[in-house]
Structure 1
Amino acid sequence: VAYNVYLDTADVQVAKKIAAAIRGASGGLQFVKALGFFIEERGLAQVSMNLVNTTKTPIHRVVAMIRAEAARYGVSVLESEIVGLVPADALLDAAEHHLQLNRFERAQVLETRLAEPERGAGATIEGFLADVSSERPTPGGGSVAALAGALAAALGVMVTGLTIGRKKYAEVSDAMAAARQRLQVAEMDLSRFVEEDSRAFEAVMAARKLPAGTGREMETRARALAQAEGEAIRVPFETARRALAVLSELLFVAEKGNTNAVTDAGVASLLARAAVQGAAWNVRINLQAGPAGENVATQLLELKSLTQRADDLARSVGQVVESHLGPA
């Protein structure tokens, strides 16, 4: 980063002494190259710098040292300038330091969030994969489970479309059309849960960072955390329930649908089964993180029932698929 600091003096010797004090080669700050100049058009002395690594030697540290050195000679910093481009993080580091921001995250910057690729099921495949593989905790397993369920429903919709209107399957056309509608609704719900799961976890993290220094702050934090943790349990629970409903539809689709697409129904059943189990795991770990309640045992029993029924349905769909494929 090309960075210049103007001093409220015309004495270039002061600028040169400050430059010598701050540059890394003279024992000053690492990653700083500095020289002192007199800028005729301004009539001012300038410390001209190249900041080679603003992460390890941030701009605010450089300015603080220049101020301290300038004070030795009875001068002060008048203004500074950046020549050319500068990394956003370099400016955010300076803002975070001078504003004394606590628990500040880059994701809170509006422009940063707006510049990110669309998240959730509506994002591109590449964008969603990049989000999942990033160092951020969201989208995580809950969102991926919801997406798996949405894909399962979408495949089921495809198979119903390949069945309805075919003379061979006329007897099941009405029932297949009804299953198609239910699968389409499930696909929309599960697609929505992809983003909702991320938002729920982010709300939990935000609530945990709230101050708890006073009684009122502790009360506010506890209320926010309880609400966020409840949502973090509700969303994957709904994902598991909806994915199980998809599995139920898929068994009918596999049994009565277009036999040329039976393996598509089979793949859908595997995805739906993974969605149920993945969402159930997320509910269980979130139940452990939250406060113990009377309905925890009831919720765990329902989860066990959901996963067992999912196992049975997926196994049944698999048997239908294998019956059409014959011996391996």
Structure 2
Amino acid sequence: MSALVECVPNFSEGRRKDVIDAIANAISQTKGCYLLDVDPGTSTNRTVYTFVGEPEDVIAGALAAAKVAHKLIDMEHQKGEHPRIGAMDVCPFIPIRNITIEECVELSKRFGKLLSEDLDVPVFLYGESQPLEHRKELSSIRQGEYEALKERLNDPKMKPDFGPVEFRPKYGASCVGARNFLIAYNINILGTKEQAHRIALNIREQGRSEKEPGRLKKVKAIGWWLEEERMAQISMNLVDFKTTNLNHAYEECEKDARDLNVATCGSEIVGLIPLEALLDAANYYMKRDNLLILDEDKKVKLAIQRLGLSSIKNFNPKERIIEYIIKERLSSDDEKYQNMSLKHFTSLVGARSSLPGGGCVSALVGALGSSLACMSAYLTYGNKKFEKLDSQIRQVLPSFYDTYHELLKLVDQDALAFNAYVDSRRLPERSAEEKLIKLESINKSLFRCIEVPYTVLKRSNELWPYLKKLAPVFNIETKSDLQVAVKCLETAIFGAYANVEINLKGADLSDKKLADLSADASKVFLQSKQEAEEILKIIQERN
């Protein structure tokens, strides 16, 4: 699945609809950019835009928006309640899927450099992107705001990271950075504002003072009164949900509420949320309550129910989870074959074309094998006749389920890898620089052509231990299904190995990583025959 980045640029205009719309159009009309939200503020005279896309597309979208702001916003006449130093005041890049915060830092630096070069304006790095401690906080960069910028640029400590060390009166300057996804999360308290704030002081990282820090890392919190609902809330910013997740925050607040003899009454998420945050919460409650839930939508429902996310307003996953919103709007090749009818896919395999080929089919056969194993396990689980086996089936069922979903995605990934390789072979090589770019592109795409079938091989191979546990106890009525599952997985490994080997012929095997991969693939392929034979023997001996 492709990398996904969120970009949340803040522009110093919240009153003129024509300017707000022009910036929105610049983003939404950039190929690969999906505008999710536009939030203007009249008193702040500021608009926050939220959009997502793949890394390169997001850079292009942010740059297009900045160019419009450069043309239409005049900071010499801009006034508002919110601190600001420029037309595009702040532009953070946030990792959403298949990309790290470190990669977003590099992305922000590339964007900052491009922005400064294209518009000839000063650009400051902040947050995770800024190596200097005294420049990490936005407040330190924006001290004195736009009105003090001209004078502050004379201070060597305020030298921009990119662009001219000169005041640009019409535009000002921009702050560019990277941060993890921030979740605005409020927990409802059937008590007073003071009680809610007391809990907030206990749990927020800052605590009451340096001598009395709070318990939860990467959490900011206050207590307030929500007049429209006639109740108090602990209002939190989970600055890094991978450090402190929803369930952790909720459980800690609930614990303190009990100590104060007040009740919690659900919670709410303000704005959007990554799917991972809800799945992490679901996994916590599944483990705590010894639940077996495999389907993603059911895990999401569990998290919503346990956290009481619909206590104030109905929490609709399709409208609140970033990945689901994008899926509704996204036109992508990531699921092209997965979403085809069986008839259409088979006709394409049989057509006079290279795709879908053996790599795609190997991934599909592996997905069918693991899903058949999943079916056999499911038809044994939750059945009164086999109730004593439930604990054993629980140990194997999730692996079959997860593997067939992953292998299904690799059907499309194999085709995407091949197409990228073909495209890289077509790159021009008119200069030494172009030749180097082409070679790097070929090597990168070729490695991906090896990596995808290798992943098919490894993931299929990981199921043998689980099949050995299932084979002696499965519902005998699914005997032939499990036999087919084993042969499918063996075939998937054979096909994936064949694809790894043929693609390795074009690679540099002096590269230790590739040499080790080749040796491991060969070892797995040889072992798979023996593993399949042993499991089929166990199945065959069942009556």
Give the CA deviation at 1:224.
0.7
2:337–2:345 CA contact under 8 A, matched in 1 = yes
After TM superposition, give the deviation of residue 321 of structure 1 in Å.
2.7
Distance 2:336 2:467 in 1: 28
Q: Tell me which amino acid in the other structure corresponds to 2:498.
A: W
Of residues 182, 203, 212, the one that matches 2:399 is 182
1:297 aligns with 2:499: no
SS at match of 1:128: helix
Say if 2:424 and 2:441, in contact at 8 Å, map to a contact too.
Answer: yes
Corresponding residue for 2:449?
232
- TM-score computed with the length of structure 1 as normaliser: 0.61
Percentage identity across paired residues of the two chains = 24
1:120 maps onto 2:337 in alignment: yes
Distance across 2 between alignment mates of 1:209 and 1:135: 21
Q: 1:139 Cα shift?
A: 1.1
1:278 aligns with 2:498: no
What one-letter code is carried by the residue in structure 2 that aligns with 1:222? L
Normalising by structure 2, report the TM-score. 0.37
Tell me what 1:315 maps to: 533
Query: Counterpart in 2 of 1:268?
Result: 485
Aligned to 1:198: 415
CA distance in 2, matches of 1:240, 1:156: 17
By how many angstroms is 1:300 displaced? 2.4
Q: What amino acid maps onto 2:530 in structure 1?
A: D
Amino acid corresponding to residue 496 of structure 2 in structure 1: A
Deviations 1:108-130 (A, max 9, x none): xxxxxx8x9x7323321111111
Secondary structure at the counterpart of residue 256 of structure 1: coil
C-alpha RMSD over aligned residues = 1.8
What CA deviation, in whole Å up to 9, does each residue of 1:214-239 have, x standing for no partner?
11110110111111011111100000
Cα gap change, 1:122 to 1:254, in 2 (>3 Å):
farther
Structure 2 unaligned runs (5+)? 1-330
Match of 1:207 among 401, 424, 440: 424
Hey, which bits of structure 1, 4+ residues long, moved more than 3 A? none
Q: Which of 239-248 and 180-189 deviates more?
A: 239-248
Matched, 1:165 2:382: yes
CA distance in 1 between partners of 2:394 and 2:344 (Å):
33
Write the letter of the residue equivalent to 2:360: S
Q: Which has the larger radius of gyration?
A: 1
Q: Determine the C-alpha separation between the residues in 1 that align with 2:503 and 2:516.
A: 15
How much does 1:202 deviate?
0.9
Once the two structures are TM-superposed, the CA of residue 283 in structure 1 deviates from its matched residue by 0.6
Q: Comparing both chains, which one has the higher relative contact order based on Cα–Cα distances under 8 Å and sequence gaps of 6 or more?
A: 1
Contact kept, 8 Å, 2:456 with 2:492, in 1: the verdict is yes
* Structure 1 residue 277: Cα displacement: 1.1
Letter in 1 for 2:370: A
| Distance apart, 1:312 and its partner CA | 1.7
Tell whether the 8 Å contact from 1:247 to 1:272 is kept in structure 2 after alignment: no
Kept after mapping to 2: 8 A contact 1:244/1:276: yes
Q: Give the match's secondary structure for 2:471.
A: helix
Task: Determine the C-alpha separation between the residues in 2 that align with 1:130 and 1:166.
Answer: 39
- Equivalenced residue count is 210
Checking the alignment, whether the CA contact within 8 Å between 1:149 and 1:275 is kept in structure 2 is yes
